[in-house]
Amino acid sequence: MNYSIMETQFHGEYRAVFSKALSYLFTQSFHAEFADEKMADLYDLLLTAQSQNTPVERVTGKDTEQFCREFFSDYTWKDRLISVAERLKTVAWIMLVLEILMISGQEHPIRDFFSIETNLAGYGMGIIGGVVMLLVLAFLRPKVLHAKKMTSGKWALIICGIFIVLIAVLVILFGDTELMLPAAPAVFGCIGYLLVYYITAAVLRYRKYGTVRNVRGQLYKDAYYKNLPDKDLERQNYELILKAWKKRYARKIRKGSLTEEQCLQAARDYERFERIGSGITNVLFVLIPLAFVIQVFRESAWWDALIFTALLGALEFAIWRFFRKINVRQAACRMEMLNECEQRGMTLPAYIEEKLNAPDPAESPATEESEASEE
């Protein structure tokens, strides 16, 4: 569920409450299903209050922190067990992929699998970092909820900053630590846990939905997006681009490095630069893994090297495809607006102001008249 898009549906105090609830959610260890259910309920609650012009304090009370605690208080011990199981699943996948990459990249042939040792100190660092992160978030949670200008976006940046600093400190303190143990138990342990997890999840889904397919995500997606048509999603995407353009070119106009008439050409030049950068990134996505693959083929048996190549290629392709999909869509939106601006013979700043100040289609006079007639 895309909480960021849900947040854009609110304004004023309603958005502040949703953002604070989202920030509270980020400081907890709720499992995905519980989080989606609660945020969907809060979304419906606040959206109804906003459409009826109900004061937000009548819904949440004056203490937002207290409201968040009470709203998420039905998190049971069963939910906590599910949360632990989900996080162990993520850890198991990470360990399994890293261990197979490490084993296939070593000089030992794969037939020596049971004699290969691995350094488990890195996983210990991860556990220590996770515990420290939970303590830090628990300490900061009340301060976040009381901060008037704190949004979920700012809080996410703070979390990222803390995470990066924590990793750097752990690497400095324990980067040279070694805990060498056989790799086979770690690999088979991860495989065994993943099999148990997915079989159990399939059985529970069958009991709840009558199918082993993961339909929960689609159910919540359908329930949420039915109130958010594709045109609204596109409009929000365009607004983000327009606001970024406005900030960039307004600053250059103030400095005198650009005139309003030059902004459109500058935007097109920037798009060409983006395409060149995207091409370079694609080349790097090939060359960097290729360098590792060549090294492994030189130092390991061909069968080990093939396994390493397949795993590394799958990971790289998944990462590339994720960012590629976002970049292509964003580039198409930008070019569509630049072409429209040029066809209408407008300067880019004027076009930006017109689009940003255009009335929301959902609040058009026709809509208001239909609502009045229904009353």
Angle at the Cα of 353 from the Cα atoms of 352 and 357, rounded to 5 degrees = 120
Contact 182, 116 (CB under 8 A): yes
Contact between residue 324 and residue 316 where contact means Cβ atoms under 8 Å apart: no
The CA-atom distances, in angstroms, between 332 and each of 106, 276, 337, 364 are: 44, 15, 9, 27
| Of 173, 174, 180, 136, residue with least CA distance to 158 | 136
* Predicted pLDDT of residue 23: 79
The pTM of the full predicted model, rounded to 2 decimals, is 0.53
Q: What is the pLDDT along the chain (375 residues), one digit of tens a residue?
A: 667 777 777 888 888 888 888 878 877 778 777 888 888 888 888 888 888 888 888 888 888 878 888 888 888 777 778 888 888 888 888 888 878 777 765 656 566 667 777 777 777 777 788 788 777 777 776 676 666 666 666 777 777 788 888 888 888 877 777 778 787 888 889 899 999 988 988 888 777 767 767 655 555 444 444 444 444 445 666 777 888 888 888 888 888 888 888 898 989 998 888 888 888 888 888 888 888 788 777 777 777 778 778 877 887 888 788 778 778 878 888 888 889 898 989 899 999 888 888 765 444 444 444 344 444
Domain boundaries, the chain: 229-375
Q: Which pLDDT belongs to residue 1?
A: 61
**Which of the 8 DSSP states describes residue 175?**
T
Element (DSSP H or E) covering residue 187? helix 183-209
Tell me how far apart the alpha carbons of residues 155 and 257 are, in angstroms, rounded to a whole number.
34
